């Protein structure tokens, strides 16, 4: 008989773990595909196009570094909040869904773009691309469909470069190096619509790319026992996302962490 009272275990918030795109179980991959397919069909504020349009056209709310901002750039906090919001939209439609991360170094030897983001013959794969909706004021060459033109896999970053950047003790230098040495290069490597800020987020692989960026920030936080952005920035709002820098410093308060694998056991009660 089921107890009318919730057990301690049931009342404990359960973190979700984001995993490598190469290591998803079939259930996890099904949930991811279900989530993307469902939000790609929505045309309102819960839909994929709405969220993709925040990063690029038409809203262009995203934060990247600039020389004038110096070390006040909000590149990492803004994109963490952005991933969090899309993940919530996905989980609304597919509760078991979490965003996977793209293991760039592993892709050097496994053929480039992770297999789950490739076309599947005879099937619709919502992770392979997206039909970009027409937007008011769009230029004549505005694409109607995402595209990719990836380079040679050997041009993807080696693990040693990621380790070198994570070693950087100064957060501001770390953030800039992560952005311009790794993040920018991958956008260019994928090519097609991923290479431009205006269209990149319409490609589902964008989200795995940025989840990897977020994971590297999380690795840096663990290594250096620091959140990163200086406290003077913690009340800074993140444009278009309704959150502040301070709200996104700790991933566990956003309900997720990064893991290679997880397996749960319920207490054995005789």
Contacting positions for other proteins (CB under 8 A) = 56-58, 60, 62-69, 74, 135, 137-139, 141-142, 149-152, 155, 176-177, 180-181, 183-185, 187-189, 191, 195-199, 239
Q: What is the DSSP letter of 235?
A: T
Rank residues 97 and 212 by Cβ distance to other proteins and give the closer one: 212
In the complex, minimum distance from the CB of residue 206 to other proteins, in angstroms, rounded to a whole number: 12
CB closer to other proteins, 90 vs 162: 162
Q: How far is CA 183 from CA 24, 55, 93, 209, in A?
A: 23, 15, 29, 8
Instruction: Give dist(CA 159, CA 110) in Å, integer.
Output: 14
Instruction: Provide, rounded to whole angstroms, the least separation between the CB of residue 173 and other proteins.
Output: 9
Question: d(Cα 150, Cα 20) in Å, to the nearest integer?
Answer: 20
CB of 169 to other proteins, least distance (A): 14
Peptide bond into 58 cis (omega under 30): yes
Whole-number minimum distance, CB 163 to other proteins, in Å? 14
Nearer of residues 22 and 72 to other proteins, judged by Cβ? 72
Instruction: Kindly give the pairing relationship between strand 243-244 and strand 256-258.
Output: unpaired
The whole-angstrom separation of Cα 111 and Cα 68 is 39
DSSP 7: P
Q: Which is nearer to other proteins, 9 or 188 (CB)?
A: 188
């Amino acid at each position: 008989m089921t107890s009318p009272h919730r057990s301690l275990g049931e009342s404990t918030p359960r973190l979700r773990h984001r995993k490598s795109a190469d290591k998803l179980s079939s259930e996890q991959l099904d949930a991811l595909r279900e989530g993307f397919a469902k939000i790609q069909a929505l045309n309102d504020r819960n839909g994929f196009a709405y969220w993709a349009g925040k990063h690029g056209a038409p809203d262009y709310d995203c934060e990247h570094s600039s020389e004038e901002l110096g070390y006040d750039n909000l590149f990492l906090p803004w994109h963490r909040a952005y991933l969090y919001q899309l993940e919530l939209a996905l989980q609304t439609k597919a509760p078991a869904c979490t965003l996977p991360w793209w293991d760039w170094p592993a892709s050097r030897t496994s053929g480039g773009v992770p297999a789950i983001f490739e076309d599947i013959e005879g099937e619709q794969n919502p992770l392979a691309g997206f039909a970009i909706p027409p937007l008011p004021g769009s230029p004549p060459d505005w694409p109607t469909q995402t595209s990719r033109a990836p380079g040679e896999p050997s041009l993807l970053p080696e693990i040693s470069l990621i380790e070198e950047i994570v070693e950087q003790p100064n957060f501001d230098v770390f953030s800039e190096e992560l952005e311009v040495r790794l993040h920018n290069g991958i956008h260019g490597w994928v090519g097609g619509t991923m290479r431009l800020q205006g269209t990149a987020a319409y490609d589902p692989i964008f989200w795995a790319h940025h989840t990897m960026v977020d994971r590297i920030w999380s690795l840096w936080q663990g290594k250096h026992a620091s959140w990163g952005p200086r406290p003077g920035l913690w009340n800074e709002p993140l444009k278009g996302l309704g959150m502040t820098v301070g709200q996104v410093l700790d991933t566990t308060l956003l309900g997720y962490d990064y893991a290679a694998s997880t397996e749960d056991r319920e207490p054995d009660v005789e």
